[in-house]
Amino acid sequence: MRSWLYPFALCVTFAAVAARMPKFSWDTVPVFNHMANVSGPFNDEAVRILARFPLVTFEKMQGASLSPCCSEDKIVEAAKQIKATNSSVITIFYLNSVLDFTNYRLHEELLKRPELFLRNASGDIVRIHPGKSPELLNVFDFSQEAARNLWANDCINATKSGYVDGCFADRAGEEAFAHNKLTPEKATAYANGHDQVLQDVQKSLGDNVLIANNYLLSGVTATMIEAFRSNEESIQRLQEAVSQKKLVEVHAGYFDSCKNITDTLAAFLIGAGDYSYYACSAGWTANEIHTDWLTWHPEYDKPLGKPTGPATKEGDVYTRHFASGTVATFDTKTNKGDIKWAEA
């Protein structure tokens, strides 16, 4: 397969691409999608569903069962599929900002430059488990400009394909040095470089979306609350992101069932602002077993309307009213929510 990537360079040209923000409306619940189809391209029914979402991120495992490389190509092809049905969907390219996943072409480039991997005080390459996997992955050394530029180019080049609008930076707020015995000087340089590469990519994207997972960073447009729960802490995290005028993806489902989304959706509605989007899923893939991302909940079509004001709290209960007449409440003592939907 011929690569769609532009040649890697040691410096990034920060020319902003045409600005495209996802569609946002209070008419109904604003929602997003973030997933991968490990088996390959989406079928027609999946495309039809995905094309209903204004904002879709394609995960690192897109098409992973087809070949070990390269996720860049597979994500672009997935974005192309959705754009062919609905060109207004904002499509997002997944890129981990700590771990060098081996199914990316970026990994092949870094193998040619092993000096760009993060090393501890003993000179050993820092290697980290990606979640529950026994596999150990190398870490980008963002204290070095060349490593920052290679990582940034992988995102920027995806947007040059014509089918990708922005990027998702996973582990954006995580510092790999925390348990890997870096010198204090290296730890500081790494942390500063991690922030800098995200801010530099956002400059290149202009007003397009860079989503910093679980991280509120000055100069970066968007964030995700990855494990949003039906509790007051999650509501307050959402309110804080909204107060900073961030686009916010609220991902529920890790700790609450997606069979009944009332509790997490009510919590979302209590804290949501302009460009806040909701989703519920237990994982990050879609197939015949994991169907959350391809489920269009009936609540998504119910009338909402712009909030008449911020939520109020009396005792343990938050309440928020919406222009359609819909009212959301959330009890912080029981962690239960309720939504009285207006008539359509």
Confidence band for 2, pLDDT divided at 50, 70 and 90? very low
The predicted model scores a pTM of: 0.93
In Å, what is the CA distance from 36 to each residue of 159, 171, 283, 294, 296? 18, 18, 10, 11, 17
Are the C-beta atoms of residues 176 and 190 closer than 8 Å to each other? yes
CATH number of the domain bearing residue 192: 3.20.20
Say what the pLDDT of residue 263 is. 98
Q: Which residues contact 340 (CB under 8 A, 6 or more apart)?
A: 326, 327, 328
| Chain segment 233-256, per-residue pLDDT in tens | 999 999 999 999 999 999 999 899
Reduced to 3 states, what is the DSSP secondary structure of residue 340?
Answer: strand
For residue 1, being part of any structural domain is answered with no
Q: How confident is the model at residue 289 (pLDDT cuts 50, 70, 90)?
A: low
- pLDDT tens readout for residues 79-106: 999 999 999 999 999 999 999 999 999 9
How confident is the model over 295-328, as pLDDT tens digits?
Answer: 999 999 999 999 999 999 999 999 999 999 999 9
Q: Is residue 130 part of a domain?
A: yes
pLDDT in tens, 161-212: 999 999 999 999 898 877 788 999 999 999 999 999 999 999 999 989 999 9
Judge whether 119 lies within some domain: yes
Q: Mean of the pLDDT values across residues 29-56?
A: 96
- Please name which of 279, 144, 285 lies closest in space to residue 211, comparing C-alpha atoms: 279
Cβ neighbors of 215 (< 8 A, separation 6 or more) are: 172, 173, 223
| Residue 108 falls inside a structural domain | yes
What pLDDT shows up at residue 278? 98
pLDDT of residue 1: 29
Within a 13 Å sphere around the CA of 234, how many CA atoms are in the beta-carbon half? Answer: 28
At residue 334, does pLDDT exceed 50? Answer: yes
Residue 277, pLDDT score: 98
CA atoms 151, 153, 154, 158: torsion sign: positive
Residue 17 lies in a domain: no
- What was the pLDDT predicted at 19? 57
What does the DSSP 8-state code read for residue 343? P
CB atoms within 10 A of CB 131: 7
Instruction: Say if 9 falls within a structural domain.
Output: no
Q: Calculate the alpha carbon distances from 225 to 65, 211, 279, 310, 323 in Å.
A: 28, 10, 11, 20, 26
Q: Which residue has the tokens 């495209």?
A: 20
Tell the burial category of 268 from Cβ atoms under 10 Å away from its Cβ (0-12, 13-18, 19+): buried
The pair phi, psi for residue 34, each rounded to 5°, is: -150, 105
Mean pLDDT on 61-69 = 91
6 inside domain: no
Q: What is the mean pLDDT of the chain?
A: 92
Percent of the chain with pLDDT over 90: 83
pLDDT at 8 over 70: no
pLDDT given at position 179: 78
Q: What is the pLDDT of residues 120-157, one digit of tens each?
A: 999 999 999 887 778 899 999 999 999 999 999 999 99
| Residue 271 maps to a domain | yes
Give Dmax over CA atoms of the chain in angstroms.
Answer: 66
Of 56, 80, 73, give the one whose Cα is nearest residue 108: 73
Token pair, residue 225, equals 């609350």
Q: Calculate ∠ Cα 166-167-173, nearest 5°.
A: 140
Is residue 31 pLDDT above 60, yes or no? yes
Query: What pLDDT sits at residue 74?
Result: 97
* pLDDT confidence of residue 124: 95
Residue 3 pLDDT class (50, 70, 90 cuts): very low
pLDDT at 16 over 50: no
Question: How many domains does the chain divide into?
Answer: 1
Q: Which domain holds residue 297?
A: 33-340
